[in-house]
Structure 1
Amino acid sequence: MTDLTTLKYSEEHEWVALDGATATIGITDFAADALGDIVFVELPEVGAELTRGDVFGEAESTKSVSELYAPVTGTVVEINDAVVDDPALLNSAPFGDAWLIKVEVADGALDGLLDRDAYVAHTEA
């Protein structure tokens, strides 16, 4: 499991881990719990250009469909096929094996995202 304090978070419940110029993106445990049992995930193709705030995919559960919003701007360089093949990973390991996509980003990509304390406060509001 990832150290949650090193991640950045969007108000739309995505998390971001930055390693150099590559941002790994997933959904938070709060989002996974709210969705319930996730049964389908749609992700963009490698090479897709993302703009912060735009929809990049969706997660479907037994109770609803939720759009996934890009927390950063950049180019998709990898998708997590394991999550596409087994969407339930999002429920069991949202901060571990269930990352969604990796995006090549520019400097300052995480500006405006929340730290863990601010995200927790946001979910409690």
Structure 2
Amino acid sequence: MDKKYYWTDESNGVVTVGLTADGQNELGNITFVSLPKVGTSLTTQDTLLNVEADKAVSDIPSPVAGKVIAVNDKATDDPSLLNKTDKADSWIAKIQK
């Protein structure tokens, strides 16, 4: 998945990651997500999350390397949150660089 499909917000070495409107459109309505476990170390070649959606089933790589320090657990119960434009609801994970 192209980097234009991610948004990232960095503060004090912590990067919050989510899907842009382009990423959401590429996937379609998200129906299932498998998020990384807190404490997982990722490289940019590692899968950040697995997504099942209307248009695709995808393994989405991490846009940054680091340690997962938080995940949006609400998205596990309600994957459609990742289709929202409000970053407070639609973030995927927080990664410490």
Q: Bin the TM-score by the shorter chain.
A: 0.7 to 0.9
Unaligned runs of 5+ in 1: 1-9, 106-125
Instruction: Give the alignment of 1:14-33 within 5 angstroms.
Output: 14-33=6-25
2:93 to 101, 114, 117: 101
Q: Secondary structure at the match of 2:90?
A: coil
Q: 4+ residue stretches of structure 1 with deviation over 4 A?
A: none
**Alpha-carbon distance in structure 2 between the residues aligned to 1:82 and 1:36:** 19
Unaligned runs of 5+ in 2: none
In the other structure, the counterpart of 1:119 is none
Q: Secondary structure at the match of 1:100?
A: strand
Deviation at 1:83, TM superposition (A): 1.1
| RMSD across aligned positions (CA) | 1.6
Give CA-to-partner distance per residue, 1:87-118, whole Å, 9 cap, x none.
Answer: 1112223634110000111xxxxxxxxxxxxx
What TM-score results when the alignment is normalised by the length of structure 1? Answer: 0.70
In the other structure, the counterpart of 2:39 is 47
**Alpha-carbon distance in structure 2 between the residues aligned to 1:13 and 1:58:** 15
Percent identical across equivalent pairs? Answer: 36
1:66 to 58, 62, 84: 58
CA contact (8 A) 1:28 1:94 kept: no
Deviation at 1:32, TM superposition (A): 0.7
